[in-house]
Structure 1
Amino acid sequence: MTLLRRATQFFIVMSILALLTLISLYYYVKSDIPSVEVLRDVQLQTPMQVFTQDGKLINQFGEKRRIPVKIEDIPTPMLQAFLATEDNRFYEHFGVDPIGIVRSAFVLISTGQKKQGASTITMQLARNFFLTREKAYIRKVKEIFIALHIEQLLSKDEILELYLNKIELGNRAFGIGAAAQVYYGKQLHELTLAQMAMIAGLPKAPSALNPIRNPTRAKLRRNVVLGRMFSEKYITKAQYDEARRAPITARFHGAEIELYAPYIAEMVRSYMVETYGEDKAYNSGFKVFTTVESSIQKAAQQALINNLHSYDMRHGYRGPERILWNTEQPSMSTNKILDTLRNVKEIDPLQAAVVVDVAEQSATALLKSGDYITLPWSGLKWARAYISDTRQAMPPKTATEILTPGMQIWVRHHEQQWQLSQYPRPTSALVSMDPQSGRIKALVGGYSFAQSQYNRATQAKRQVGSNIKPFIYSAAFENGYTLATIINDAPINQWDKSVGVAWRPKNSPEVYNGPIRIRRALAQSKNVVSVRLLKGVGLERTADHLLKFGFQDQDINRSESLALGSAAITPLEMARGMSTFANGGHLIEPYFIKELQDAFGKTLGKAEPLIACDEQQLETHPQRCAPQVISEQNAFLVASAMHSAIWGGGSWRHKTGWTGTGWRAQALKRRDLVGKTGTTNDSVDTWFSGFNRNVLTTVWVGFDDAGKPLGRAAYNANLGSNQIVGAESGATTAQPAWVDFMQVALADQPVAPIEPPPGLISTRIDLKTGLLSNKNDHTSRFEYFESGTAPTKYALDEDNSTPFDNEPIREELF
């Protein structure tokens, strides 16, 4: 009894001492213990992902790879693998496992080494969030107290979910969702048992046990996990044996970029950083769904690239990138060629290659991949030598005139064959949007983001040339002019007192038709008519009218050269302004973010753009309507004249037919399209803007070196009749990309013409005089007028003259 009493007393005293020690330790470290309340609203460092409207990943921003998952979405075998390996009594203890602590203490006493940490999943969570991996007793004490706090605050499932999303698993993968993607390119539910066990074995040493860097050690660790799962009766013997025999299949998988659209991705990144700050933007797991459509965006990028290569090819081949050996030297070995190519930076779609053999009309080249390719004559015959931007040498007759062995060249795979290529010297931008809402459907800011991150679609203010004319004509319609008004298309010779010289604006080409209707003048892009209209309306009044379309005052040059397109405007600004003619006169606001979600897919916000409203919408939901800056009648009249820019007019049978500058768009065989070319002096900047009611696209082509002309191309006898020759222009340089893109963008779209609004009348006019006509033949046509603006006089058979036929045409009308 005495011995029992003493043992009891000893136990009580030791318990009191242990309790006092525990309390003392608590107060000792209390000031260093962080509040675990933050776990209630924890924000895991999850990268921002950018998607297309239809859910394809464009890009990912952020240093850490993390794909948060809810516990109910985690496969049971995955949960069991972690529990069996890290904490098999997780659901039984209170955050600290006494059995584990005793076992760890025994190992420490018996060996003198800290081989077992006795850390539960809750303690590991405490360390991962608030502490370090330092093996120190005081850290372990803090870990225990924080774990006890966590267990009071969160449920077991919440703790486990946080742990599995937070834990580091190597290769910058944090959490099991990211690990599944990084190591196997799969989602969790797609993993095999062996793969789940592999991931569950990583927390012990993410680097040392990494299956990519050290597959042998990783396999041993995986089998330990499988053994623990079997001993805990989570898996059967058959499952255990099958998983142990499974090979190591892990390899590095980057973010699964499904559509490479870097200019749009950078626009999103910049906006998110500006709005939320860098840390929150990169680490909050935002999912940003853009407005672009993947198939249309891809078509835009391809159309722009193909068009720039077409320009570059018609201007001649500038030669190889370098020469590795010449004909007098021995050729390099295959291995040495490959070593050289490995150091060459490639920019998609171009691939570096070295010519190893040249036949009469073909060549053989070696790619960086080690593959040999054949360049057929059809992929070589374009390559007449470049002399200057305006001159090219004679077309080659054999491949030996172009290539010799030892040349390092650029090739690209185009139209199912390999083709000799080169970096295009000019660049381009394309913007396509829904003109009714401003939703950007596709945007490309240059040939290659890797080559230049400068976004020409949003940043490059370039002179717009004749793309300005629809806005000039809109000002004219607002000031009493009509589509039937006759303007004198004759040379101008105006003395400019400010500089002491004569200003002689010219048509391009220098063809003058004399008295001409405004419809035809816009369709054929008559420069002198645009100048006369600006003068007739007034410079200040015209410039102020242009500001209605969203252009900046500082970009509008208030001189008469404004009529010829001296204003400097970005392609996106041009697309926005042109949208006004497609939507009935409303100024919409372009937008590129459709929806913003958090890391778990909860919607944080959606775009609510102001739209072009009809009368009913304006009455019922005026707050949703974009401002109307010109009348819908004005917008329609401009669009109608732009329709003639594509489809022309007159009667070819009666030899009065004429074409507009945008006639190449007829290839799309859609009567709902309207458009306008644009070319500046010396072909420095070239444009084409065209649309129907639902899709509007603007294309610009030029050099980054502002002021450098695009030059001209001579006929190449090797390329047949369907080639572009002569001076570069909006119709020949920018419009082909527009046509190629719209072929895809409109493929499944219904016909959507710009319909005439109320307030217009249609009456037959005489084509020569613009007056009313009683005839129903090729000398007349129906024309649209705003109510009260139609002519009141009829053209007389005996006096079918124009307003200018009875007076001399003066060189200076101002």
Structure 2
Amino acid sequence: MKKLSCAGRIHPFFALFLVLLMALPIGFYGLYLFVAPSLPDIAQLKTASAAIPLQVYSKDNKLVGEFGEKISYPVSYEEIPPLMVNSFLAAEDSSFFTHNGISLKGLGRAVTEALQSGRGQSGGSTITMQVAKNYYLSPERTLKRKLTEIFLARKIEQNLNKKEIFTLYVNKIFLGQHAYGIAAAAKVYYQKPLKDLTIAEMAMIAGLPKAPTKYNPVNDPERAIERRNWIIGRMLQLGFITQAQYHENINAPLNLHFSYNTNRLDVSMPYISEMVRDVMVREFGEDVLNSGYRVYTTIPSDRQQMAVDAVHKGLEAYDLRHGWRGAESTTKPLSTFYVINNLWPAQVTKVSARSFDAVLENGLTVTVPWSEMSWARSYHSTNSVGGAPQKASEIVHEKDIIRLRPDMNEDQVREILSAKAQQASQNTNKIDNQNSPPQLTQNESDAVVTKKPLAIKSKWTDINWALTQIPAAEAQLVSLDPNDGAIQAVVGGYDFARSNFNRSMQGWRQPGSNIKPFIYSLALERGFTPYSIINDAPLQVGKWRPQNSDGKFMGPITLRRALYLSRNLVSIRLLQAVGISKAVDHLSHFGFMENQLPKNLALALGAAQVLPIQLATGYATFANGGYRIQPYFIQRVENYRGDVLFTANPIRVCRECDALANQTDPSATDENGEQPIQVNSNPDGSISSTASTDLSEGKASTLPVDYPKAERILSAKTAFNMANILRDVIQHGTGYAAMKLGRNDIGGKTGTTNDAKDAWFSGFSPSLVAVAWVGFDQPRTLGRKEFGGVAALPIWSEYMGKALADTPENWLKQGDAKQDLATASAAQKSRKSKPKILTETSSKTDATTEDSIEAIIPKSSVSPTPSTALESPF
């Protein structure tokens, strides 16, 4: 035996070895004592929440919006398919369920690199160590951080079981494309829940933690499949899958269905989603975007889509009326353009006499026939277009970037595209070594590689295509329930990606004649009736000589007819009669802002500044019998656990409340001393009445007390009369085009500002209000004859026709019929004799005299100058 000492001494090298052997654990323990106080409390891991995005839902529980840089959907261990667990074990840590949290082999490699270079270049981390890093540590690779990771991993193993650790890992790990956790990755890459993933798809996801960018199937499909197939081979080698499963999945196509935000949503509602985001951030701060809140809105997804379709259809129809503006570009590459509202960018490749060919970005060539382009008269100006084209070369040229509309919706088109691409991929891509597993090594260079799909260059005849263009103007539609203010639809513009400016909620514009009903309602409140006679005659106020839109005068006219024919001069005379200050105060009760209402007679013609949502709120009062409601769009807020944090309790109309209260006093009558009367307006204009029985057949007489009641701001009589006059706007007046809906329970008002810079239609049924607007963001004329009834009414009609399709006709049933019958009789008598002409109204704009109540017919065409000179806003 070889001696270890000389003359009884220990060999110096052996002594050094013993010292190092004893010092290593002591030093390691010393490091632990140094680091231990700073290690976090592991108990927090059990309650740790992942960064879950803020989610917005429709009334019918469809996901319509999502916010947050990190996409995450935490799952429990029981929700993870066993094969998904095995795919991660094969890829990351095959001994996870047996080790104590540390891989000595991997650790040795990482420590060596750190000692040599100061920064480790490789991992060596177990799943437990990755949990420690992902939840507590920075991503830097230093010796200190690696030692902290080791100590923390041991602490995690001592406090949590393996299933808990694995669940924390797969819910937190970054998997590329903003996806954190396996459930998020399944949605982002495959649009699937975990349970529906194939083995190949599970392996693809399991391959991402090592290098989420390098092995990302979106960034590099070849390398992603290489990594995926190596993992599938490892699963076979470890006995996780059978030989048959191996062969089935090793040759599987990429089958990627990658998409961000809107394509991952059930329905896209960008404007309402942004409204929710704004409110939540203001209330809770930026952290709310990653805290897993779920916000349920008041908006039914079907009505929202109806509104979107109506805006698109109406605005595109307006745009095409004004001619073809030509190609979007002749120099930019096609790849820089994107689909907007199903208008597909394409580049013209061939122009024939009566058709042209164009290629889409994906390589598909389509042909546009003459019938789908002959509309394209050249645009000269807003009021002028060229002659009808005779051949295709007058419209398009080779290399033009133009827009095409398919005769299918965008989802259907994309489905066809995907199917064709997948078919081409299956036909042209063959996997090497199909019948045997690859030779697996630590180096993945031996893995199976799939070739990239070939470009598709075939004729596409499944879909018909038409030449179109992106509208230059803008439009909006907002809709709400007049009985509680619940918003039913918000379309803030033609395309959110093009402009996220929400015109429904932020777009201050002049309302034009849309303001008139509010002034008329004040006149009715102050003693006028629908049959009061007002003179539609010339009027001059200072230097201002306002005109009717047709430049004509109709002479003495009833208030009712003046409104449904939108006579400007009658509106001005009514405003003179009721007083400007009183009118401003009256309008503020409907929700209009006083500081946006001019304190002069121009108010009668819509010179104010209003928001579409304010108009919708105001018109709701005419629809609901005279009550002021408050719009709202958030119905409920939940946290990520499903706990309800907020439920809306809106102000609601309670028509029965007053009547029920009066039932406690048998002698009680309405405001005119009569029992409530049901009023019916007959087609011939006559009025009939029947006693109301709404509250007399065994219904409970107790007042509802579980919700706040809407304030009455118009008498029932005025509200009823206004609703009927506004119904006449559609049946006999400027909104007659809406008669195509075939309904007898809708009313509204057109509005057009000076030089047709804004076109409006605001209207309602007893259960739904909608306001449509068309105009340019930088105000300029929409063109001659583009009145509210031409440009905006089609949008309103398209929406209301569909939104009310399943709603039975139901007009307002309560009102003061006695007064209406009396005024109708008086009107009949007035037609038999010349109406009394009263003296001219006072020059004071706030004057209201008994003389001005019955009729306002000045003796001359010129009224005295008001105390404040007015400049024409028109």
TM-score (norm 2): 0.75
Pair 158,608 (structure 1): closer, same or farther in 2 beyond 3 Å: farther
Pair 542,59 (structure 1): closer, same or farther in 2 beyond 3 Å: same
User: One-letter code of the match for 2:276?
Assistant: V
- Quick check: 1:731 aligned with 2:789? yes
Instruction: Check whether the contact 2:649–2:707 (CA below 8 A) recurs between aligned residues.
Output: no
Pair 168,424 (structure 1): closer, same or farther in 2 beyond 3 Å: closer
Local SS of the residue matching 1:643: helix
Task: State which drifts further: 671-680 or 397-406.
Answer: 397-406
Pair 574,216 (structure 1): closer, same or farther in 2 beyond 3 Å: closer
Pair 103,35 (structure 1): closer, same or farther in 2 beyond 3 Å: closer
Aligned to 1:342: 335
- Quick check: 1:560 aligned with 2:560? no
Pair 755,15 (structure 1): closer, same or farther in 2 beyond 3 Å: farther
Alignment of 1:537-556 (within 5 A): 537-556=578-597
Cα deviation for residue 249 of structure 1 reads: 4.0
Cα deviation for residue 435 of structure 1 reads: 1.5
Instruction: Check whether the contact 2:110–2:123 (CA below 8 A) recurs between aligned residues.
Output: no
- Quick check: 1:462 aligned with 2:509? yes
Instruction: Check whether the contact 2:513–2:750 (CA below 8 A) recurs between aligned residues.
Output: yes
- Quick check: 1:433 aligned with 2:474? no
Percent identity between matched residues is 42
Instruction: Check whether the contact 1:379–1:417 (CA below 8 A) recurs between aligned residues.
Output: no
Pair 117,542 (structure 1): closer, same or farther in 2 beyond 3 Å: closer
Encode CA deviations 1:291-338: one digit per residue, 9 max, x unaligned.
Answer: 3332322222222222222222222333444567xxxxxxxxxxxxxx
Alignment of 1:93-112 (within 5 A): 96=101, 100-101=103-104
Task: State which drifts further: 153-162 or 522-531.
Answer: 153-162
Encode CA deviations 1:73-117: one digit per residue, 9 max, x unaligned.
Answer: 222222343346545665566x535xx4489669999xx999997
- Quick check: 1:139 aligned with 2:145? yes
User: One-letter code of the match for 1:446?
Assistant: G
Aligned to 2:291: 284
Aligned to 1:741: 799
Aligned to 2:169: 163
- Quick check: 1:677 aligned with 2:750? yes
Local SS of the residue matching 2:653: coil
**Residue number among 810, 817, 821 corresponding to 1:752 in the alignment:** 810
Alignment of 1:641-790 (within 5 A): 641-647=725-731, 659-706=732-779, 708-712=780-784, 727-757=785-815, 759-761=816-818, 764=821, 771=826
Pair 152,550 (structure 1): closer, same or farther in 2 beyond 3 Å: farther
Local SS of the residue matching 2:313: helix
Aligned to 2:427: none
Cα deviation for residue 118 of structure 1 reads: 6.6
Aligned to 1:490: 537
Aligned to 1:625: 709
Pair 157,344 (structure 1): closer, same or farther in 2 beyond 3 Å: closer
User: One-letter code of the match for 2:204?
Assistant: M
Local SS of the residue matching 2:556: strand
**Residue number among 195, 198, 205 corresponding to 1:192 in the alignment:** 198
Encode CA deviations 1:467-500: one digit per residue, 9 max, x unaligned.
Answer: 0111111111211112222222222234x2xxxx
- Quick check: 1:452 aligned with 2:485? no
Gaps spanning 5+ residues in structure 2: where? Answer: 1-17, 409-462, 662-702, 840-856, 865-874
Cα deviation for residue 541 of structure 1 reads: 0.9
Aligned to 2:671: none
Pair 379,226 (structure 1): closer, same or farther in 2 beyond 3 Å: closer
Measure the CA separation in 2 of the matches of 1:352 and 1:245.
35
Instruction: Check whether the contact 2:529–2:823 (CA below 8 A) recurs between aligned residues.
Output: no
Alignment of 1:474-623 (within 5 A): 474-494=521-541, 496=542, 501=543, 503-616=544-657, 619-621=703-705, 623=707
Encode CA deviations 1:748-769: one digit per residue, 9 max, x unaligned.
Answer: 2232323324x553654576xx
Cα deviation for residue 645 of structure 1 reads: 0.7
Encode CA deviations 1:548-590: one digit per residue, 9 max, x unaligned.
Answer: 0111111111111111111110111111111111122222222
Aligned to 1:789: none
Alignment of 1:317-332 (within 5 A): 317-321=324-328
Measure the CA separation in 2 of the matches of 1:674 and 1:511.
25
- Quick check: 1:635 aligned with 2:719? yes
Measure the CA separation in 2 of the matches of 1:685 and 1:107.
69
Measure the CA separation in 2 of the matches of 1:117 and 1:362.
61
- Quick check: 1:49 aligned with 2:55? yes
Pair 253,72 (structure 1): closer, same or farther in 2 beyond 3 Å: same
Root-mean-square deviation (Å): 3.7
Measure the CA separation in 1 of the matches of 2:27 and 2:538.
103
**Residue number among 22, 36, 39 corresponding to 1:33 in the alignment:** 39
Task: State which drifts further: 526-535 or 383-392.
Answer: 383-392
Measure the CA separation in 1 of the matches of 2:611 and 2:69.
33
Pair 645,173 (structure 1): closer, same or farther in 2 beyond 3 Å: same
- Quick check: 1:802 aligned with 2:859? no
Measure the CA separation in 2 of the matches of 1:537 and 1:125.
74
Paired residue total: 731
Measure the CA separation in 2 of the matches of 1:143 and 1:709.
67
Measure the CA separation in 2 of the matches of 1:235 and 1:368.
40
Cα deviation for residue 148 of structure 1 reads: 4.0
Structure 1 segments of 4+ aligned residues over 6 angstroms from their partners: 12-19, 106-109, 112-118, 805-808
- Quick check: 1:62 aligned with 2:68? yes
Instruction: Check whether the contact 2:651–2:709 (CA below 8 A) recurs between aligned residues.
Output: yes
Gaps spanning 5+ residues in structure 1: where? Answer: 1-11, 325-338, 648-658, 713-726, 773-779, 781-794
Local SS of the residue matching 2:627: coil
Measure the CA separation in 2 of the matches of 1:519 and 1:340.
58
Measure the CA separation in 2 of the matches of 1:566 and 1:108.
76
Cα deviation for residue 191 of structure 1 reads: 0.8
Instruction: Check whether the contact 1:68–1:599 (CA below 8 A) recurs between aligned residues.
Output: no
Measure the CA separation in 2 of the matches of 1:458 and 1:467.
17
Cα deviation for residue 514 of structure 1 reads: 2.4
Cα deviation for residue 142 of structure 1 reads: 1.9
Measure the CA separation in 2 of the matches of 1:258 and 1:687.
31
Measure the CA separation in 2 of the matches of 1:523 and 1:401.
45
- Quick check: 1:298 aligned with 2:305? yes
Pair 529,161 (structure 1): closer, same or farther in 2 beyond 3 Å: same
Pair 138,689 (structure 1): closer, same or farther in 2 beyond 3 Å: same
Aligned to 1:268: 276
Local SS of the residue matching 1:761: helix
Alignment of 1:392-407 (within 5 A): 392-403=385-396, 407=400
User: One-letter code of the match for 1:746?
Assistant: L
Cα deviation for residue 680 of structure 1 reads: 1.5
Cα deviation for residue 267 of structure 1 reads: 2.0
Task: State which drifts further: 358-367 or 57-66.
Answer: 358-367
Pair 231,385 (structure 1): closer, same or farther in 2 beyond 3 Å: closer
Local SS of the residue matching 1:569: coil
Cα deviation for residue 397 of structure 1 reads: 4.7
Measure the CA separation in 2 of the matches of 1:133 and 1:636.
69
Instruction: Check whether the contact 1:69–1:600 (CA below 8 A) recurs between aligned residues.
Output: no
Cα deviation for residue 813 of structure 1 reads: 5.5
User: One-letter code of the match for 2:483?
Assistant: Q
Aligned to 2:179: 173
Instruction: Check whether the contact 1:686–1:734 (CA below 8 A) recurs between aligned residues.
Output: yes
Aligned to 1:125: 131
Aligned to 1:716: none
User: One-letter code of the match for 1:439?
Assistant: A
Instruction: Check whether the contact 1:104–1:116 (CA below 8 A) recurs between aligned residues.
Output: no
Measure the CA separation in 1 of the matches of 2:536 and 2:475.
32
Pair 515,380 (structure 1): closer, same or farther in 2 beyond 3 Å: same
Task: State which drifts further: 412-421 or 538-547.
Answer: 412-421
